[in-house]
Structure 1
């Protein structure tokens, strides 16, 4: 059985994510690690974002959400990548749709953000992309990232998958009312259930980060097993 490393920028295991992706990964074992594993409340407080920081939002082991400045966790992520390489992983998947700098890895390292980027760019064309992101502080970086990646028309709404899951349909309606032709649920925290609720509220296509990434991994590594 192949082993794939899975790194969350929060704390592992991501029991909120695995029910949606493990059925797609038959024949593959996920080895999870978290950039915030073992950190105390005081240490978590010290990595909160300040003005101008690239903001990430993730989940702690106790189910609560956490907001952090990306710059503080990059060395911790590189350390985990190095360890997973040494443990013999076939590849490594980032369980986060944020944008990251280059990390050193001897095995393939997959970023959901990149997969989402090409997926969306391939189908959106001149139409308007609606983006759901967990926190309003992420609006500037989200708009900039999607426009830099070739999407001309971008709308963003904030709804946390960790504390406001029931508000996803309402946020999707706001995006559609503003003119969105397609929606990206731009955080690993958004689930299949949230996507289904979105579809029941608005009749436009939607892309879910966690399953796009899982299907990509399955295509490469599930040894011909039926998806």
Structure 2
């Protein structure tokens, strides 16, 4: 069984795929593509002209964090999915929690943004969400997105690539004080370690996109 993984950054994503592979198991072959594959850091930086264009945070192959704009990678993401379809994947996983309604696939396409919102609505009747995002520049858009689910929302920003454990602990303690009911790590870059810290401090459920997607993909391909 082949599963495709499409990042808005550069592949391979050795910071993400191993944790997804742990969930899927060795029976599944994961093929990766990235919207920024083959581009230099200078070329990628040119994709971010600055405000008012909304930004996305991702990373280069060597781990360098970069800012890009959504509008400049949509066509590249479409090409990535087309390539993976040609390689025979049965499922494509979009490795970004931003909504990309323009992106479609002839195969099953797992969209983490829609998956997470559906899970929250199915899990809570009411309550307060604690949402973690990569950049302060994304706070207002994130509040608007999650307020749309009908819940009270508290948003904090920390980079999954350059943020410190100390900062994660500070945010987790704020969420504990604010008595959030559910925590969403709203970026595919966040890790199991980050989830564990939030869980340990707040004692609340934490949604980690990468493992959520892995478990859904596993269910779809019916791995015993």
User: Same fold per TM (> 0.5)?
Assistant: yes
Per-residue CA deviation, residues 38-69 of structure 1 (Å, 9 max, x unaligned), is 11122112111522323211121111211111
| C-alpha RMSD over aligned residues | 1.4
Distance, in Å, in 1 between the alignment partners of 2:156 and 2:220 is 33
> Could you tell me how far apart the structure 1 residues matched to 2:7 and 2:116 are?
17
Deviations 1:150-178 (A, max 9, x none): 23211100011100141222212222323
Q: Please say if residues 45 and 67 of structure 2, whose CA atoms lie closer than 8 Å, have aligned partners that are also in contact.
A: no
Instruction: Return the alpha-carbon distance in structure 1 between the equivalents of residues 151 and 208 of structure 2.
Output: 20
Distance 1:57 1:87, change over 3 A: same
Q: What is the distance in 2 between the residues matched to 1:72 and 1:176?
A: 38
Shift of 1:220: 0.5
- 1:18 corresponds in structure 2 to 17
Match of 1:5 in 2: 4
State how far apart, in whole Å, the 2-side matches of 1:181 and 1:30 are.
Answer: 34
Contact map agreement 2:176 2:201 (CA 8 A) in 1: no
Q: Runs of 4 or more off by more than 3 Å in structure 1?
A: none
Q: CA deviation at 1:24?
A: 1.1
Number of the residue aligned with 1:191: 191
Please name the residue that 1:104 is paired with: 104
* Structure 2 gap ranges (5+): none
Shift of 1:195: 0.9
Q: Residue in 1 aligned with 2:162?
A: 163
Cα 1:34/1:118, change in 2 over 3 Å: same
The answer for the alignment partner of 1:175 in structure 2 is 175
**Aligned match of 1:35:** 35
Which residue in 2 is equivalent to 1:66? Answer: 66
Question: Taking structure 2 as the reference length, what is the TM-score of the superposition?
Answer: 0.94
1:57 matched to 2:37? The reply is no
Distance in 2 between the 1:165 and 1:132 partners? Answer: 14
1:60-110: per-residue Cα shift (whole Å, max 9, x none)? 111121111111111100111111112211111001111112223211111
Q: 5 Å matches for 1:64-213?
A: 64-148=64-148, 150-166=149-165, 167-213=167-213
Q: Are the counterparts in 2 of residues 125 and 151 from structure 1 also a CA contact under 8 Å?
A: no
Q: Which runs of 5+ in 1 are unaligned?
A: none
In the aligned structure 2, how far is the partner of 1:36 from the partner of 1:163?
20
CA contact (8 A) 1:156 1:175 kept: no
The answer (yes or no) to whether the contact 1:49–1:67 under 8 Å persists in 2 is: no
Matched length: 222
